[in-house]
Amino acid sequence: MAVFMVALGVVLGLCFCTALLRWNEVRYRKKGLPPGTMGWPVFGETTEFLKQGPNFMKNQRARYGSFFKSHILGCPTIVSMDPKLNRYILMNESKGLVPGYPQSMLDILGKCNIAAVHGSNHRYMRGALLALVSPNMIRDCLLPKIDDFMRSHLSNWENKVIDIQEKTKKMALLSSLNQIAGVESISISQEFMREFFKVVLGTLSLPINVPGTNYHRGFQARKNIVNMLRRLVEERRASREIRHDMLGVLMNGEENRWKLSDEEIIDQMITILYSGYETVSTTSMMAVKYLHDHTNVLRELRKEHLAIREGKKPEDPIDWEDFKAMRFTRAVIFETSRLATIVNGVLRKTTQDMKLNGFVIPKGWRIYVYTREINYNPCLYPEPFDFNPWRWMDKSSESQNYFFLFGGGSRQCPGKELGIAEISTFLHYFVTRYRWEEVGAQKLMKFPRVEAPNGLHIRVSSYQTKDLSYAQKNL
Ligand code: HEM
């Protein structure tokens, strides 16, 4: 009898699940939608997506082609894996394809955040941001700050075991803070860092504003960060001093044609800190990993940096000419970003029903412009799973149509050169000062974010550079 009851329960359960799945499919069986499956009500296919990662995408593509529907991360979503179509979507924000980042992210990063604004507001905020990260600004103002910061951040690592993930995370955040407000940021940096890490977790969580949730903590942390930044703005204004940092440019309304309110200035600073944080830190960490595993690449990179050091005294900083001479370093950064796929893709949202690729996409649906697979396309990158920075030495590979490592179109990363300058300076001091080896087995996750869940531990020893010609001979 008991066996019968259990069997009946299982059969009924299966019938119920099948009916639920079917009902959900029927709900979304609108005319003109692309093929694909929608999974469970509410949860959709999020579990499969997060568990199987890139394989989920590849399996769905094998079944339904490069343009299919799904329901992931709480929203009905179209996944586009077609390079040409992805390019079209990125280039055509004005046709109604605006950023589609989760509500938790928009709430916590602020309503003036660049991802939250569209049309003329976006153009204005972006213009104001581009003025902060222009080549002149990097050359005259930011690079000296980055150099100064990296020198100090990378001091006294020898004869220690360090977690390079933790170090690069701190580096990315504190270096940005230093570019924004220079010495004034030092006194708040520790408290700021604690709150900022809560903000990051909050933006990646479900938007449930109940005490104890990451979203709630992130929201509270935003308030604390806003207070700290507001104090910086007020103190700077009271001092009447004009300083050569990002805040100085943002507040110097007379010389700067982009005039922002205090609220906009604060959200702009949060945008810069947030956008450059994970991208710069993870690329730096993965570069260390790949350089460790590919000694021929490390040798070439060291050669480049030792040549730059050779003409300098130990206290001389990296300048703009040095940065421009780091051609192989740039190639290492692109290759790291490609092979590790630091950014899987970008999210857009339709603002009206719209025709795309012969289908009608309803208003409010997300479009996941999934660019990951392009990174492993053998036509674009022969032997795509090899770590081969030399493939980037031809400058034109950076301007090919499907170069999406930094996005594309009107939202293409404005901080690209700044990010490259930061990672290059980090690598400069890292490879000219140190040797390193990994300690123990390292676990790396590549999806949905690249991270080392238990840290990436390395034993660091000093690299003697006192006699550079000797060092160069003995790379
Ligand atoms: C290696 C480092 C970096 C990578 C790989 C990277 C990647 C990207 C990508 C893929 C996008 C496109 C997002 C989209 O289309 O929705 C983007 C946008 C953006 N990035 Fe970066 N980024 C990097 C560094 C930085 C830095 C250092 C900053 C600091 C200023 C920054 C600021 C931004 C901003 C503000 C946007 C949004 C632009 C807009 O909406 O108009 N990024 N980035």
CA 418 to ligand 1: nearest atom:
27
Categorize the per-residue pLDDT at 20 as very low, low, confident or very high, splitting at 50, 70 and 90: low
Q: Residue 246: phi, psi to the nearest 5? A: -60, -40
β-strand partners of 436: 460
- For residues 286, 415, 306, 151, the Cα torsion angle rounded to the nearest 10 degrees is -90
Q: Which residue has the higher pLDDT, 399 or 285?
A: 285
User: What confidence tens digit (pLDDT) does each residue in 56-95 have?
Assistant: 999 999 999 999 999 988 889 999 999 999 999 999 988 8
Categorize the per-residue pLDDT at 442 as very low, low, confident or very high, splitting at 50, 70 and 90: confident
CA of 203 to the centre of ligand 1 (A): 16
CB neighbours of 195 closer than 8 A, spacing ≥ 6? 221, 224, 225, 228
409: left (phi over 0), alpha (psi -120 to 50) or beta: left
Q: How many C-alpha atoms does 404 have within 13 Å on its Cβ side?
A: 28
CA of 419 to the centre of ligand 1 (A): 9
Q: What is the mean pLDDT of residues 233-246?
A: 91
Q: What is the mean pLDDT of residues 376-394?
A: 96
Predicted confidence at residue 22, as pLDDT, reads: 67
Predicted confidence at residue 470, as pLDDT, reads: 44
- Tell me the average pLDDT of the chain: 91
Q: What is the DSSP letter of 467?
A: S
For atom 30 of ligand 1, which residue has the closest CA? 415
For atom 40 of ligand 1, which residue has the closest CA? 411
Pocket of ligand 1 (CB under 6 A): 99, 114-115, 126, 129, 133, 271-272, 275-276, 279-280, 283, 337, 342-343, 346, 405-407, 411, 413-415, 418-419
Instruction: Please say if the pLDDT value at position 27 is more than 80.
Output: no
For atom 18 of ligand 1, which residue has the closest CA? 413
Token pair for 170: 């701190």
For atom 8 of ligand 1, which residue has the closest CA? 406
For residues 287 and 315, is the Cβ–Cβ distance under 8 A?
A: no
Instruction: Please say if the pLDDT value at position 193 is more than 80.
Output: yes
CA of 52 to the centre of ligand 1 (A): 26
pTM of the model: 0.93
Q: Residue 340: phi, psi to the nearest 5? A: -80, -15
Choose the residue to mutate in 282, 372, 413, 450 for probing ligand 1, maximizing ligand atoms within 8 Å of C-beta: 413
Q: Which residue has the higher pLDDT, 36 or 20?
A: 36
Q: What is the mean pLDDT of residues 130-135?
A: 96
Rg of the chain in Å (alpha carbons): 24
Instruction: Please say if the pLDDT value at position 3 is more than 70.
Output: no
Predicted confidence at residue 257, as pLDDT, reads: 87
Instruction: Please say if the pLDDT value at position 426 is more than 80.
Output: yes
CA of 414 to the centre of ligand 1 (A): 6
- For residues 126, 127, 132, 136, the Cα torsion angle rounded to the nearest 10 degrees is 130
CA 423 to ligand 1: nearest atom:
1
Distances (CA, A) of 166 to 67, 145, 285, 423, 452: 38, 21, 9, 15, 10
CA of 413 to the centre of ligand 1 (A): 4
For residues 287 and 419, is the Cβ–Cβ distance under 8 A?
A: no
Categorize the per-residue pLDDT at 11 as very low, low, confident or very high, splitting at 50, 70 and 90: low
Q: What is the mean pLDDT of residues 107-119?
A: 93
Instruction: Please say if the pLDDT value at position 368 is more than 70.
Output: yes
CA of 412 to the centre of ligand 1 (A): 7
Give the separation between CA 286 and CA 339, rounded to whole angstroms. Answer: 9
Choose the residue to mutate in 279, 286, 334, 349 for probing ligand 1, maximizing ligand atoms within 8 Å of C-beta: 279
CB neighbours of 212 closer than 8 A, spacing ≥ 6? none
User: What confidence tens digit (pLDDT) does each residue in 157-174 have?
Assistant: 999 999 999 999 999 999
Instruction: Please say if the pLDDT value at position 471 is more than 70.
Output: no
Q: What is the mean pLDDT of residues 429-433?
A: 98
Token pair for 304: 């480049």
Lay out the sheet containing 75-80: strands in order across.
67-72, 75-80, 366-370, 345-350, 97-99
Q: What is the mean pLDDT of residues 234-238?
A: 94
For atom 17 of ligand 1, which residue has the closest CA? 413
Categorize the per-residue pLDDT at 201 as very low, low, confident or very high, splitting at 50, 70 and 90: very high
Which domains are assigned to the chain?
A: 102-345+373-473 (1.10.630.10)
Token pair for 146: 């980055």
User: What confidence tens digit (pLDDT) does each residue in 140-156 have?
Assistant: 999 999 999 999 999 99
Instruction: Please say if the pLDDT value at position 473 is more than 50.
Output: no
Categorize the per-residue pLDDT at 395 as very low, low, confident or very high, splitting at 50, 70 and 90: confident
For residues 415 and 422, is the Cβ–Cβ distance under 8 A?
A: no
Predicted confidence at residue 321, as pLDDT, reads: 97
Give the separation between CA 424 and CA 441, rounded to whole angstroms. Answer: 27
Distances (CA, A) of 355 to 34, 87, 97, 371, 455: 11, 16, 11, 21, 45
Question: How deeply is 456 buried, as exposed, middle or buried, from its count of CB atoms within 10 A (0-12, 13-18, 19+)?
Answer: buried
Lay out the sheet containing 457-462: strands in order across.
160-163, 457-462, 434-438
Instruction: Please say if the pLDDT value at position 108 is more than 70.
Output: yes
Q: What is the mean pLDDT of residues 264-292?
A: 97
Instruction: Please say if the pLDDT value at position 300 is more than 80.
Output: yes
CA 422 to ligand 1: nearest atom:
27
**How many other CB atoms are found less than 10 A from the CB of residue 446?**
16
Length of the chain: 475
Q: What is the mean pLDDT of residues 325-334?
A: 98
CA of 123 to the centre of ligand 1 (A): 15
Give the separation between CA 437 and CA 448, rounded to whole angstroms. Answer: 27
CA 419 to ligand 1: nearest atom:
27
Predicted confidence at residue 377, as pLDDT, reads: 95
- For residues 202, 205, 210, 212, the Cα torsion angle rounded to the nearest 10 degrees is -70
User: What confidence tens digit (pLDDT) does each residue in 35-44 have?
Assistant: 999 988 778 8
Q: What percent of the chain has pLDDT over 70?
A: 92
CA of 279 to the centre of ligand 1 (A): 8
3-state secondary structure 117-167: CCHHHHHHHHHHHHHHCCHHHHHHHHHHHHHHHHHHHCCCCCCEEEEHHHH
74-78, 377-381, 395-399: segment of lowest average pLDDT: 395-399
**How many other CB atoms are found less than 10 A from the CB of residue 85?**
16
Residue keyed to tokens 């299919």: 68
Categorize the per-residue pLDDT at 16 as very low, low, confident or very high, splitting at 50, 70 and 90: low
Choose the residue to mutate in 120, 275, 336, 372 for probing ligand 1, maximizing ligand atoms within 8 Å of C-beta: 275
CA of 118 to the centre of ligand 1 (A): 16
Predicted confidence at residue 41, as pLDDT, reads: 79
117-126, 227-236, 395-404: segment of lowest average pLDDT: 395-404
